[in-house]
Amino acid sequence: MKRITRKEKRSKESKKNFFGEFIKVKEHFFKDLVKKLKEVKDCRNKGYIDYGVEVLLLMIILKNALGIKSMRDMTVQFNKSECMENMAKVLEVEKLEELPHYDTINDFLCKLENKEIEKIRDYMIKELLKKRCLEQHKYQGKYWIIAIDATSLFYFRERHCEHCLKKEFKDKETGEVIRTAYYHNVLEAKLIIGDMVFSIATEFIENEDENVSKQDCEQNAFKRLEEKLKSKFPRLPIVILGDSLYACEPVFKICEKNKWKFIFRFKEGSIKTVAAEFNKLKEYDKNEHANCTWVNEIAYNKRTVNVVEMKAVEKEKEKYFLFITSLHITKNKVAGIVLAGRSRWKIENEGFNTQKNIRYNIEHANSLNYNAMKNHYLLIQITDIIRQLFELGAIKMRGLIKSIKEISSNLLESFRTRILTAEDISKIRKRTQIRLQ
């Protein structure tokens, strides 16, 4: 990439309408997004409706995209005529007299069914999967890589709702409960496209009610997530990545039933017989290449599995990885399999940590109502898809490498100060090429 001087950078930036560029990305990849927002099933009392569902949903998407951390701050920041005009332009309406107060939006999100927002994401993912430019990120030109992992979202000192997960901390000597924590976790399936990580399915880990004898857990949530993923994308060729928790019979069965390939982290303790067989056979077979040693066709129950280990020194650190996979390992494929398996860290890093600490602060509850909390979380997943495409396509390509926070503040500033012009709009609507490489 050509280096540009600071002066050139300043003049380039002042000409740039960041918000316009963001909307251009939305338009390029998801041209029916506003239409999809309008189709969301409205469950509000018909007598009190001032704003269409699309206004309420777009507000939250923009709040997220522009890096605004709280609902209250959104109401303050967006209370400008420029913001109203920009919103109207995006929604293709003549005029918006006012923007809704955050209480109005939260009331709506309390009642809105989660699946309504999931449907919008399904539309977006399906549009992405059609794009030629993303094909090159498939594993061996054939399989989409999907990583599965859970993370914690909200934590409370007192019971927050009937669905909270509960953890008791006991005194080591007396066994008495000294503290109880209540929390909410989520299980995600994320599509890995190069360095981008897109949420493709979400399952909240939650108890049915306060009195359950056994709490919900990641393994149970995976069974629900798997059904969701299969029903939404029945023929999608997938390689599933997961940590060693997934290296077990029930998950292998699910993958076979769905015709999904898998690469899971493997611990010797996960399946002792497979580990023993691997350790024994690797000495005889000597399948070695690119710091990897592997053994194919290790018998396990009614199937065979393949195991590969990698030992290497990278950046002066010793690295060790052990994977179990349904993909047949060969000298030509081993490096690719290990690379795909290792890309699982992206769900923790790009997927969760960036959403928590840099882009959106997903651990901040925008509402205390559990259903609204889930809807806010899903709207962040939708925003994140557009935001990552915007960051890669519109910013990095033109030599404006910026931090994620700088991009948010540039976006917010242009949304609040520059009204999209007729010329901007015609540029946005034009079928322009957005290159991601």
Please list every residue from 162 through 201 that binds Zn ion, using CB under 5 A: 164
Shortest Cβ 180–Zn ion spacing (Å)? 13
* Contact call for residues 293 and 313 (beta carbons, < 8 A): no
Residue 365 binds to Zn ion (criterion: CB under 5 A): no
The residue among 4 and 161 lying less far from Zn ion, judged by its C-beta, is 161
> Which residue lies nearer to Zn ion by CB, 160 or 387?
160
Length of the chain as a residue count: 437
Cα 192 to the chain's mean position, in Å? 9
Coil, helix or strand for 42?
Answer: coil
For residue 188, which phi and psi values (nearest 5 degrees)? -120, 145
Which residue lies nearer to Zn ion by CB, 90 or 372? Answer: 372
CB of 73 to Zn ion, least distance (A): 24
Give least dist CB 121 to Zn ion, A. Answer: 23
Nearer to Zn ion, 161 or 358 (CB): 161
CB-nearer residue toward Zn ion: 104 or 367: 367
Distance in Å, CB of 369 to Zn ion, minimum: 10
Residue 75: name the closest of 55, 103, 53, 102 by CA: 102
Nearer CB in complex with Zn ion: 207/409: 207
Question: Residue 110 Cβ, how far from Zn ion at the closest point, in Å?
Answer: 14
Give me the least distance between CB of 363 and Zn ion, in Å please.
Answer: 14
Least Å distance, CB 212 to Zn ion, is: 13
Least distance from C-beta 404 to Zn ion, angstroms?
29
Compose the 214-243 pattern: x for residues touching Zn ion by CB under 5 A, - for all others: ------------------------------
Residues 133-162 that bind Zn ion (CB under 5 A): 160-161
* Gap between the terminal Cα atoms of the chain: 12
CA-CA distance, 87 to 94, in Å (whole number)? 10
Residue-wise over 173-209: b if at least 16 C-beta within 10 A, else e? eeeeeeeeebebbbbbbbbbbeebbbbbbbbbbbbee
Strands 288-289, 261-265: parallel, antiparallel or unpaired by DSSP? unpaired
Could you say whether residue 36 binds Zn ion (CB under 5 A)?
no
Dist CA 220 CA 263 (whole Å): 20
Render 152-200 in DSSP notation, one character per residue. Answer: EEEEESS--STT-EEEEEE-TTT--EEEEEEEEEEEEEEEEETTEEEEE
Count of chain residues binding Zn ion (CB under 5 A): 3
Closer by beta carbon to Zn ion, 369 or else 383 = 369
DSSP code, position 289: E
Residue with smaller CB distance to Zn ion, 185 or 354: 185
Q: Which residues bind Zn ion (CB under 5 A)?
A: 160-161, 164
